[in-house]
Structure 1
Amino acid sequence: MADTRVTFPQGSVQGTATVRQVVPLPDRRWGVICDRTPFHPLDHTWPDHPADLGVLAISGVPVPVTDCVIGAAPHDTGSLLLGDDIPVRRGAEDWDWHVVHVVTGDLDGVTPGDPVELAVDEERRRGLSAGHTACELVTLAINETFADSWRKPVPVDVRGRPDFDGAALTVSRIHPYGSRDDYRLGKSLRKKGFVTNDLAVRLPERAEQITTLMTGWVEADLPVWVDAPVEELTARRTWNCALPDGTVTVPCGGTHVTSTGQLGTVTVTLDLDAEGSALSMTTALTAAGRTATP
């Protein structure tokens, strides 16, 4: 069975498709695989961007989608595995890769070949897309803000700034109209040359600098887009933003807004733990009357 084709990189929230497989799951749930879908699934290998939710209408009967995950089946057995149970890297050869729409209800009469209408929860998609775009930008902003905190040369990000985010990030989580990034400021980071001595004192100043950078990018209303050369789920996709000092491009499998102006008001806060070994950055948006909802 060929890989699921996905249309979410282009911003699609609706589509028509054909049911390929219906898989029984625990707790009276079902996994529905279609030939194509606008739904963005949770990527178990880097679960920063939550799954799209919405509705499938199978043969005209609406069924709520309560989760959406990646499934994979090896060619030799064809047995479908979901999420963390997949033992290989996404895109591994000799495996088929699918978007699995998790639904509840009675699907006993649904069979491969049945037509299906797919509709993503648009408000949730807007919020997550805004949160993800802001998350991509704020990691560039923290790198620039902390550029003077290094006493040794280190790898740089796509803008040529010392890559604090790449060196220290432990967890990133996106939610509607916001995100949270957690960083470890341990011995290994200090050995690489990151100076933490004055970090606690300068934390409010640093947060203000990051917020100012983000606000400038939002006010400039810069184009944002996702490049997806083909529709297969496992295809390499990139996020792009035309920043004033040059277009940046980074690998990314999520959904995004189409311009920075859609992010609205940005507030960035930094919090350091009592030991000074863990830093968290929270980004909150007020976009089109909506606010961050962790």
Structure 2
Amino acid sequence: MIELSATEILFCHNTWQHTSVVQLIKETDQGTWFVTKETPFHPVSHIWPDHPEDKGTVVINGIKYPVLACQTGAIELATGELYIDKDIPIKRGEAGWVFVVSHLISKKSNIAVENTVELTVDKEYQDALSRGHSAGHIAYLALNKVLHTSYWRKDADRKDELGHHNFNSYAQETSFVTEDQCEDVYRLGKTLRKRGLNSAELMADLSSITEQVNQQITVWLALENEVSIECEGKALTDSRYWIADFGIDGVVKLPCGGTHVSSFKEYQEIKVELKTQGEQELLMLTHSKKRI
């Protein structure tokens, strides 16, 4: 009998194809879920689903099948039971449990525990998500910097990795990555005004702020610096950090579990749009273009 273990993740290491051994299978109405020892697939998080799952295929006994979904799972070691996505009943670090990457395929596939399978990620799609996600980080750091200068009337306790008042941390309601885009929604309520943000002036000056943010992003991209992911371990639940050098502004190291670009050189451009959504919500759309 195969020993169940946490999935070793490979998506941080520029790996898009990998052969691995199946360690668990679960049949559901959706199809067949399977877990391998290692995987190059990035799953969607059950806690903060801002980054979509990878697409791709798996070859089983010489037959190729599409991977229909890829989600975070947790296995109770005592029972061998696999819980997926919102059904996961525990937090990471719980004794007697391991977190895994769960791949969904059709019930028609002939898959068994201890099969050796070949997993292949759709690199083009993953790269587009990576550009969208890294662009979102770059955009919010630029927004923080622009607001820091003129739109806080008192010192905010939270600072971002470049030392600016962390508007993103205080105000972000949702964030969602798609291909070459990131969408962030910010709430400008009473609490934020009490902390010192001049919300009314911010909303009135959106055109000017947008221009300044885009100018800052252009300056940073011109550095053409590398971006790296630092992993504290091989498991899905081990901490991972996005690291980028922003020149005279400093080096950023922030926790992030998604996939990302390897260099600013991968962008032709990044452009931000800021829009109001009612009286107290701000939408930031970050669009990126791949350098050809």
Please tell me the TM-score bracket, short chain as reference: over 0.9
Q: Which residue does the alignment assign to 2:251?
A: 247
- Per-residue displacement from partner, 1:144-173 (whole Å, max 9, x unpaired)? 011121112211111110000000000000
Partners of 1:189 and 1:132 in 2: CA distance: 25
Matches of 1:92 and 1:144, distance apart in 2: 39
- Correspondence for 1:271: 275
Q: Map 1:1-294; keep pairs closer than 5 Å.
A: 1-27=4-30, 29-107=31-109, 109-147=110-148, 148-154=150-156, 155-245=158-248, 246-275=250-279, 277-288=280-291
Contact conserved, 2:71 with 2:101, CA < 8 A, in 1?
Answer: yes
Pairwise CA distance, 1:196: 1.4
SS of the residue corresponding to residue 208 of structure 2 reads helix
Once the 2 structures are TM-superposed, how far is the Cα of residue 229 of structure 1 from its aligned partner? Answer: 3.4
- Secondary structure at 2:197's aligned position in 1? coil
- TM-score, normalization by structure 1: 0.94
Q: Is 2:181–2:287's contact at 8 Å kept on the other side of the alignment? A: yes
**Structure 1 contact 68–101 (Cα < 8 Å) conserved:** yes
Query: Aligned residue for 1:292?
Result: none
Q: Which consecutive segments of 4 or more residues in structure 1 shift more than 4 A?
A: none
| Distance in 2 of aligned mates of 1:202 and 1:168 | 17
Supply the distance in 1 between the matched residues of 2:204 and 2:152 (Cα, whole angstroms): 17
| Shift, 1:72, TM fit | 0.4
Distance 2:162 2:79 in 1: 45
| TM-score normalised by structure 2 residue count | 0.94
- Identity, % of aligned positions: 33
Q: CA deviation at 1:201?
A: 2.5
Q: How far off is 1:133 after superposition?
A: 0.8
- RMSD, aligned α-carbons: 1.3
Deviation at 1:199, TM superposition (A): 2.2
| Cα shift at 1:288 | 3.5
Bigger drift between 113-122 and 89-98 goes to: 89-98
Instruction: State how far apart, in whole Å, the 1-side matches of 2:225 and 2:85 are.
Output: 35
Specify every segment of 5 or more residues in structure 1 that has no aligned partner in the other structure, as ranges. Answer: 290-294
Kindly tell me the number of residue pairs found equivalent between the two proteins.
286
Please give the alpha-carbon distance, in whole angstroms, between the structure 2 residues aligned to 1:167 and 1:48. Answer: 17
Code of the aligned partner of 2:253: T
The one-letter amino acid of 2:265's match is G
